[in-house]
Each structure stands twice: as structure tokens, then as C-alpha cells.
Amino acid sequence: MVTLYEKAYAKLNLTLDVLGKRADGYHDLCSVMQTVSLWDDVEIDVGTGKPWCLKCDAPGVPCDERNLAWKAVKAFFEELNRDPDGLEIRITKRIPSQAGMAGGSADAAAVLRALNRHWGEPLTLEALADLGSRIGSDVPFCVVGGTCMCEGRGELLRRLPDMPDCIFVVCKPEFPISTPALFRKIDSVAIHEHPDNRAMEMALAAGDLEKVAQNVFNVFDPVVSAEHPELDAIKSVMREYGALACQMTGSGSATFAMVDEPLSAVAISGLLKKEYQEVFVCKPV
């Protein structure tokens, strides 16, 4: 038996645009995504000689074939037509659930990377990301990580220049958001403002953090903020204490501040921690 270890990094959407609904019911998206130094620990015992099992320390996360990490193991061995002779997956969660930070997708991607490495890289990174797209829309990006332009459902990836150094303070309010309901809502309202993804790419190419910050925008943010004024209160604190940009990530409800001064990050996280249990300080990775 051998134990594999892999970090599963969370993502933030620096931009997120919804381009339209497709005939298959999915939406075409265009989003600049960034992995950040907030991660789940994924351990896999391979060759246990026992039936597959999954353990996770977070309540509410399914510990069976519904878990995206389990789906990833299944997809990997089906693709290779191999049998691992029993395995156990253990997940220590730090990424908040239903936050728009791709918690489950990150775990699935970590499983794919760890298994592929252990088996001598039978799949290229592109093939591994492609396999990930069968598990979930955010999995391909989580396989690749870094800074990427993600299009289609999330399966069309293009690497972008690394994000300039900065600090993110992420706050996850407690109210839940249903992603399908949010997509239905965005279909029924006019989107008045879109992110300028071209300008974001140019800002990244120039390594200009202020311009990156100016172009942070998620079309879901105004829709969710209109229903949950709490998000505006969080963003006010972030702005007041020096955030260069603040925005909800993905379909929420986690909201992040981008800052360039460590003291700003300390002030923002200190204030938000008085009200919220899930506040994280992290960096681009």
C-alpha cells in the first residue's frame, strides 16, 4: 500500500461573465480564474485490498460516490482501464462549502493529479483536464491552476501571465446560494455591466495590480448583492480599509478583497472576523 498526498487549492473568479444559455441547458461563461493559498488536504491510500472508502472531516460533505473526489478516482481508473486494488481517500477540508471557491472541484482535481503522478503520468495535463470536465465545470481549471481564462462551461482553458503579487481576504457569509436558481435569475434579468476580459488580460500581461483590480467584476455580484445587503456591508468594510477591489466569487457567497498592503489585510480580516466565522487571508498560487 502507498499513500499519496496532494493539496487541493481553492479558486477565486477575478472576472465572471455569463454569455448566454446554450441548447444543452448549460451557460457559456468567460472567466479569469485564480488559484489561492487556501487548500484542502487530500490523502489517498492506494492498494488497501479493501472496498473503496472516503472520509471527510467536514459535516454535510457526502462520503460516498456523490463526492467529486470519488467521481475523480472512478473516472481516472475507467480511463486507464486499471484496478487500484482498493483505496481510501481522506479529505481535510478548509475551503468553505457552497462558497463559489470550487471546494469539491479542487478535491477532484487533486485526486486526478495525484493518481496521474503516481502512475507515471499516463495522461498529459490537457488530457487530465479534459477528464476533469466530465466530473464538473470547474475541475479542468483546478487541474491546471494558476491564472487562466476559462470559457465554454469552463473546459476551454488558456493560461494567462501570473497574477501580480497581492493578498486576498475572503469572507464567507452564512446565507446559502443555490447555483441553479442564480443561473435562472440571471436568465431573467438584463445584465447591465460586463467585465472587460480583454482589459483584464492586458493588465495581467503588464503585471499591473491596480489595473487588474480595476477590472475585477462578476456579473452575479450585483444580482446577489441586491438580495443580500450583507454583501454590500462586507464590501464597505473592505473598501474602507484599503481594498483595491472587492467582489463576490463565482456564484457566491464568498466575497474577497484584493489588497497590496499587509496592514490592510490585517485590518479587514480582524474586523470581519468579529462577525463572520469563515474569514481567510491568502495569496495567489
Q: How far is the CB of 138 from ligand ATP (least distance, A)?
A: 4
Return the number of other C-beta atoms located less than 10 Å from residue 22's C-beta.
11
Cβ-proximal residues to 208 (8 Å cutoff; 6+ apart), any chain: 164
- By beta-carbon proximity to ligand ATP, the closer residue of 95 and 257 is 95
Instruction: Identify which of 113, 94, 103 has the alpha carbon closest to the alpha carbon of residue 5.
Output: 113
Torsion of CA 134, 138, 144, 150, to 10 degrees: 110
Q: How far is the CB of 68 from ligand ATP (least distance, A)?
A: 4
- By beta-carbon proximity to ligand ATP, the closer residue of 131 and 209 is 131
Q: How far is the CB of 207 from ligand ATP (least distance, A)?
A: 27
Instruction: Give the H or E element holding residue 33.
Output: strand 27-46
Query: Are 231 and 261 a contacting pair, CB within 8 Å?
Result: no
| Strands 87-92 vs 53-56: parallel, antiparallel or unpaired | parallel
CA 234 to centroid of chain Cα atoms = 20
- Residue 89 grid cell: 481517500
Q: Kindly list the residues in this chain that would bind ligand ATP in the complex (CB under 6 A).
A: 61-62, 67-69, 91, 97-105, 107, 138, 179, 250-251
Q: How far is the CB of 137 from ligand ATP (least distance, A)?
A: 7
| Strands 87-92 vs 167-172: parallel, antiparallel or unpaired | unpaired
Q: How far is the CB of 23 from ligand ATP (least distance, A)?
A: 22
Instruction: Identify which of 154, 157, 155, 136 has the alpha carbon closest to the alpha carbon of residue 146.
Output: 157
Please state the length of the chain.
285
Q: Angle, to 10 degrees, between the axis of helix 68-80 and the axis of helix 125-133? A: 120
| Strands 217-218 vs 15-21: parallel, antiparallel or unpaired | parallel
Q: What are phi and psi of 34, to 5 degrees?
A: -140, 130
Q: How far is the CB of 200 from ligand ATP (least distance, A)?
A: 19
- By beta-carbon proximity to ligand ATP, the closer residue of 5 and 205 is 5
- By beta-carbon proximity to ligand ATP, the closer residue of 57 and 240 is 57
> Which amino acid appears at position 93 of this protein?
K
Point out the residues that are catalytic: 11, 138
Query: Are 186 and 220 a contacting pair, CB within 8 Å?
Result: yes
